Amino acid sequence: MFGFGRKQQALIGVDVSSTAVKLVELSQTAGMAAEPYRVDAFAIEPLPANAVVEKKISDVEAVGQTIQRAVAKSGTRTKRAACAVAGSAVITKVISMSADLSDAEMAAQIQLEADQYIPYPLEEVNLDFDLIGPSSNDPDMVDVLLAASRRENVDDRVAVLEAAGLTAKIVDVEAYAMESACALLLGHFDRERQEQTVAVADVGATTSTLQVLHGGKTVYTREQSFGANQLLDEVERRYGLARAQALARLDESRLPEHFASEVLRPFAEALAQQIARALQFFYSASAFNRTDQVVLAGGGARIQKIAGMVEERLGFAVSVANPFAPMAIGMGVDPVLLAKAAPSMMTATGLALRAFD
């Protein structure tokens, strides 16, 4: 089940992407309003090639072993975990139900009526629901978010956690985890910025997802086939490097001076074009006609100077995501490594925050 509304404690947020496992554990800091959470453990561990293909786990054993290494590297002793399935693997629907129903009655009614909304046999899916609030159309009704995914998508995530010696307590949706991390990040700023329309461009290895939030809530998402691997391919070709060498030099900013102008800038301009195109789709499909800022997340956002280049091309504010900005840092956590990893830890952070629902 997706675990909506279930309070958990001491959870590890485990984000399994196409190239790496990202893991983070948070705790609450009593009496520290400016830093309500503390980072107690984190790790990033690369995945073997093709262990995850198009956001589907193809090698459970390899992914499980990678998670196990990440757990060992992080030093956490927590065995309870939250993970997420890709938004493309989930069907969501907002339905209206009587406000007089209890949670148990809602659950029973949804089970009876779910086949109206889910295009698969119910025995093949995991589904859950969350109460959004009073319906704007009828004061006697409430809006309920229904989420469902084919059982195999959930089972694969649960299996890799179990292979690593962890217990899956929550299986969330990546978009909701990202929303939670963004809400925390925006809440770090003043009220005006919290109410802005913010586009989060999550730049992965092979795909980029644009998620637009208004008032801290997701109003639009769009996935595009564009990712940091395109830059990595060009670094390999231009400098005659093997894949591992290209990745290491890019990560450590150990490339010739002309890299920024001749290699990075064309990639940044292509990324800006992808973001601009996705925003145009958003404007045409909604009542919105502007975006206040863009936040770059994902592995692609870790590249030095990329935010400034994208901002120059788009013509409005672009920043790099750091979900740990409003947090304290635990004694066993390296702040330099954490800051470097931060842009790619948004989903894992959102999952770890589920411990405090």
Give the pLDDT score at 8.
Answer: 46
Task: Kindly report the number of other CB atoms within 10 A of residue 330's CB atom.
Answer: 18
Per-residue model confidence (pLDDT) at position 183: 86
Question: Angle CA(186)–CA(154)–CA(324) in degrees, nearest 5?
Answer: 25
Q: What are phi and psi of 276, to 5 degrees?
A: -60, -40
To which residue do tokens 């999550």 refer?
202
CA 173 centroid distance within chain: 8
DSSP states of 332-353 as a string?
A: TS-HHHHHHHGGGGHHHHHHHG
pLDDT of residue 188: 57
HEC-encoded secondary structure of 287-330: CCCCCCEEEEECHHHHCCCHHHHHHHHHCCCEEECCCCCCEEEC
pLDDT tens digits in sequence order for the chain, 357 residues long: 455 444 447 899 999 999 999 999 999 877 656 678 999 999 999 999 899 988 889 999 999 999 999 999 999 999 999 999 988 888 888 888 999 998 888 888 888 888 888 888 888 888 888 888 898 888 889 998 888 898 999 999 999 999 999 999 999 999 999 999 988 887 755 566 667 899 999 999 999 999 999 888 889 999 999 999 999 999 999 999 999 999 999 988 899 999 999 999 999 999 999 999 999 999 999 999 999 999 999 999 999 999 999 999 999 899 999 999 989 999 999 999 999 999 999 999 999 999 998
pLDDT of residue 41: 97
Residue type, 194: Q
Per-residue confidence (pLDDT) for residue 7, from 0 to 100: 47
Q: Which domains does the chain have, with CATH numbers?
A: 11-88+152-187+325-356 (3.30.420.40), 89-151 (3.30.1490.300), 191-320 (3.30.420.40)
The answer to whether the predicted template modeling score (pTM) of the entire model surpasses 0.75 is yes
> What is the layout of strands, in order, in the sheet containing 197-203?
217-224, 208-214, 197-203, 293-297, 318-320
Structure tokens at 144: 């309920």
